[in-house]
Amino acid sequence: MNRICELLGIEYPIIQGGMAWVATAELAAAVSNGGGLGLIAAGSAPGDVVREQIKKARTLTDKPFGVNVMLMSPNADEVMQVVLEEKPAVVATGAGNPGKYMEALKAAGIKVMPVIASVAMAKRMEKAGADAVIAEGTEAGGHIGELTTMVLTPQVVDAVSIPVISAGGYADSRGTKAAFALGADGIQVGTRFICSTECIAHENYKNAVLKAKDRDAVVTGRTTGAPVRALKNKLTKEYNRLEKEGASFEEIEALGVGGLRRAFMDGDTEMGSLMAGQSAAMVHKIEPCSDIIKDFFKGVEI
Ligand code: TUI
């Protein structure tokens, strides 16, 4: 049996990406009901909001789901406390080292799957007791590392013995087969799930993903040390201009504040941060999560 399906008690080894704002209880429950593992993204939300989302997901599914904790959030400690109380099946982490939380999460019986972007971090997480690692390549949306999925995945597979979930660039069953060929036990998918019926993001955001072409998912913030991939628009051009002019860290960061909210809630496609991976160009329609999941495993032996 597939190691991820066995570990998590799910039908298909596909984890939904922990997209801040986008990954609500509705999306997470739909992915879990479709046989994958849905994640509620805590993003920068405070603990009580995350608690409500977990409770809501429980009304929408009986299947296991998880919470993605974004470690750069000022609320990360508080969110971890909520997670320890609510005990979702899984905690995935992003944008940092979850080492200091590992013992408490394990003691609460929660499976821990850190997102990592390097071999060294993968090894460290295995040693710290992680149940699996999510190896995310630079094709992914949002905050990203340097290495491509193609080179990161096999190196992580060789370096650790816990299951490896490969992330970044996956849009259809060709990708799933490639991930298995690289030695991964499963895949994580974000961008294609933005274009699901159950995702409650503004339709302008979904349409921007549907319209995206091969080179439209661009990176900003390389100079400030927190590179982020999002669809090219007025905001990303403004970022580039400030970075080129050598603007201060504060000035550049200020531009992005509230950007995800503007994209997700207001449908502001000009000044909103339309975070998405390079696979956006391969997403062509809005459909239910269960259909998306089946499509990822069309002709694939699990
Ligand atoms: O975390 C993500 N993607 C994200 S987080 C996010 S919110 C945000 N918004 C604006 C600026 C920055 C963040 C949007 N998208 N993906 C998982 C991921 N984790 N990618 C890379 C990493 C990572 C990086 C460094 C994981 C561990 C790590 O360790 C550093 C260390 O502590 O040694």
Q: Which atom of ligand 1 is nearest to the CA of 260?
A: 9
Residue of 39, 100, 115, 262 best suited for mutating to test ligand 1, as the one with most atoms within 8 Å of CB: 115
Supply 252's token pair.
């550049």
Compute the distance from residue 95 Cα to the ligand 1 centre, in Å.
2
Nearest Cα residue to atom 4 of ligand 1: 143
Per-position pLDDT tens, the chain of length 302:
899 999 999 999 999 999 999 999 999 999 999 999 999 999 999 999 999 999 999 999 999 999 999 999 999 999 999 999 999 999 999 999 999 999 999 999 999 999 999 999 999 999 999 999 999 999 999 999 999 999 999 999 999 999 999 999 999 999 999 999 999 999 999 999 999 999 999 999 999 999 999 999 999 999 888 899 999 999 999 999 999 999 998 888 888 889 999 999 999 999 999 999 999 999 999 999 999 999 999 999 99
136: Cβ below 6 Å to ligand 1?
yes
Is any ligand 1 atom within 6 A of the Cβ of residue 4?
no
Residue nearest to atom 28 of ligand 1 (CA): 96
Is the distance from the beta carbon of residue 142 to the nearest atom of ligand 1 less than 6 Å?
yes
Ligand 1 in reach of 226 Cβ (< 6 A): yes
Q: Which amino acid is at 265?
A: M
User: How many whole angstroms separate alpha carbon 91 and alpha carbon 75?
Assistant: 15
For the CA of 116, the closest atom of ligand 1 is: 26
Model pTM above 0.75:
yes
User: How long a stretch of residues is the chain?
Assistant: 302
For the record, the structure tokens of 254 come out as 């200020």
- C-beta of 96 in contact with ligand 1 (< 6 A): yes
DSSP state of 196: B
Q: What element of type H or E holds 28? A: helix 25-33
Cα 79 from Cα 45, distance rounded (Å): 8
CA of 144 to the centre of ligand 1 (A): 6
The answer to whether 185 and 132 have CB atoms below 8 angstroms apart is: yes
Say how far apart CA 189 and CA 175 lie, in whole Å.
10
Distance, CA of 235 to CA of 41 (rounded, Å): 23
Ligand 1 atom at minimal distance to the Cα of residue 141? 15
